[in-house]
Amino acid sequence: MSRKPVVLITGASGEIGHGLIDQLSTDTDRAIITLDLVPLSPKLSPKVRQHYVGSILDQQLLDRILAEYEIDLIFHLAAVLSTRGEFAPVTAHKVNVEGTLALLEFAQRQGESHGRSVIFMFPSSIAAYGLSGPDAKKRAGRVREDEFNTPTTMYGCNKLYGELLGAYYAGHYKQLVLEAPPSKVDFRGLRFPGLISAVTLPSGGTSDYAPEMIHAAAQGKPYASFVRPDTRIPFMAMPDAITALLRLASTPAQRLTRRTYNIGAFAPSAQEIMDEVQLAFPNAVITIKVDERRQNIVDSWPEDVDDQAARTDWGHSPKYDFHKAFRDYLIPTIKSQYT
Ligand code: SER
């Protein structure tokens, strides 16, 4: 039992969770508590005060955490990604929407019990956009937050609605109830591009062709890209994604002009990624075997994002551009991992 404020991370065993726990545990002496369907890896466990194995949809479990800890910062990472969500849309909706609603309600109750605002960090996605195809995508170029908000995947719809729910909790919660407690949720959303980590592989996403290609080459395995070589979407190296999450979380609320921000770093075509991988791993065997259905999803996502607001409001400034991400982060880290 601890009444010192702690940080809660849901979906902690996932890709972002790995990087976030590593960084948070070195940055602060704040205790971290985590929640995931599966146990934490033995590497991460020592960095965490307590790990709960369970579902974000388990209300009794959330009530237990509420009673045991005082939380004023939540990273709500648990989600079903865009490819998996198309095979199980109702499950995706449950996890991505009902799960987010349960966590927002949890945050509000936490805030009411200790009297301070709870910062609620919500990773959203380029999947929140929906363009009608490659031509529209070319014409649109770098898109701003409020354009093309017509996603075509269950995951994209869920993330966009999660952003709206967060804004509702932060700004209009129970607006007609006279004696209602004030909102205690300080919601902050980040629309991530495709993320590439050198230490973990994503599962169930549609931007996965980039990380899969790199990790396959590093292990000497052949890889067939499921998108055309000219396919272009924004990507970011995982360390920059973690930095962005932590930077936005620690920015004073009065500096923020939006509830959800685009963030970008580089936007290579699949061909450019293949060339870079081939350069680093000359024996790599990469072929193309387009999966038209997954291609359609990537074709509905923007070529790049306009992240000016994030740069201006809270200093988003990715350390890794495309070549630096490969040269200084991905290749050396991956090589050491597989040898
Ligand atoms: N990486 C995610 C996906 O592919 C997009 O946010 O689903």
Taking only the tens place, the pLDDT of each residue in 264-306 is 999 999 999 999 999 999 999 999 999 999 999 999 999 999 9
Q: Which amino acid is at 100?
A: T
Give nearest CA residue, ligand 1 atom 2.
Answer: 205
Q: What is the mean pLDDT of the chain?
A: 96
Instruction: Look at the domain 195-235+265-301+321-337 and name its fold.
Output: UDP-galactose 4-epimerase; domain 1 (3.90.25)
Compute, in angstroms, the gap from residue 254 CA to the centroid of ligand 1: 30
Q: Which ligand 1 atom is at minimum distance from the Cα of 301?
A: 5
10 forms beta bridges with 35, 76
What is the per-residue pLDDT for 316?
A: 98
The pLDDT assigned to 180 comes to 87
Q: pTM for this structure?
A: 0.97
- Percent pLDDT > 90 in the chain is 95
Say if 2-194+236-262 and 195-235+265-301+321-337 have the same CATH topology: no
Architecture label for domain 2-194+236-262: 3-Layer(aba) Sandwich (3.40)
Averaged pLDDT, 188-207: 95
Q: How far is the CA of 164 from the centre of ligand 1 (A)?
A: 19
To test the ligand 1 pocket, which listed residue (15, 83, 122, 125) has its Cβ within 8 A of the most ligand atoms?
Answer: 125
Burial class of residue 61 (count of CB atoms within 10 Å of its CB; 0-12, 13-18, 19+): middle
Q: Is the CB of 77 under 6 A from ligand 1?
A: no
Number of other residues whose CB lies within 10 A of the CB of residue 267: 19
CB atoms within 10 A of CB 138: 12
pLDDT value of position 137: 97
Average pLDDT of span 225-242: 98
| Interval 93-111 mean pLDDT | 98
User: What is the model's pLDDT at position 313?
Assistant: 98
Q: In angstroms, what CA-CA distances link 338 with 22, 31, 137?
A: 20, 32, 37
Q: What pLDDT score was predicted for residue 207? A: 97
What pLDDT shows up at residue 335? 86
Q: Is the pLDDT of residue 2 over 80?
A: no
Long-range contact pairs involving 207-213 (C-beta distance under 8 Å, separation at least 24): 207/126, 207/233, 207/235, 207/298, 207/301, 208/83, 209/270, 209/273, 210/235, 210/270, 210/273, 213/273, 213/274, 213/277, 213/286
Binned at pLDDT 50, 70 and 90, residue 148 comes out as very high
Q: Which of 52, 69, 129, 155 is catalytic?
A: 155
Is the pLDDT at 309 greater than 80, yes or no? yes
Map out the domains of the chain as residue ranges.
2-194+236-262, 195-235+265-301+321-337
Q: Is 305 in the pocket of ligand 1 (CB under 6 A)?
A: no
- Centre of ligand 1 to C-alpha 10, Å, is 17
Q: Which two tokens stand for residue 184?
A: 């205690």
Position 41 scores a pLDDT of: 95
- Asked whether 124 lines ligand 1 (CB < 6 A), one says no
Average pLDDT over residues 130-136: 97
Nearest 5°: the CA angle 175, 179, 184 is 60
Which atom of ligand 1 is nearest the CA belonging to 192?
6
The verdict on the CB of residue 82 being under 6 Å from ligand 1 is yes
| Mean pLDDT of all residues in 46-63 | 98
pLDDT greater than 60 at residue 170? yes
What is the structure's pLDDT at 28? 79
Secondary element (H or E) of residue 59: helix 59-68
User: Is residue 125 lining ligand 1, measured as CB closer than 6 Å?
Assistant: yes
Concerning whether 129 is annotated as a catalytic residue, the answer is: no
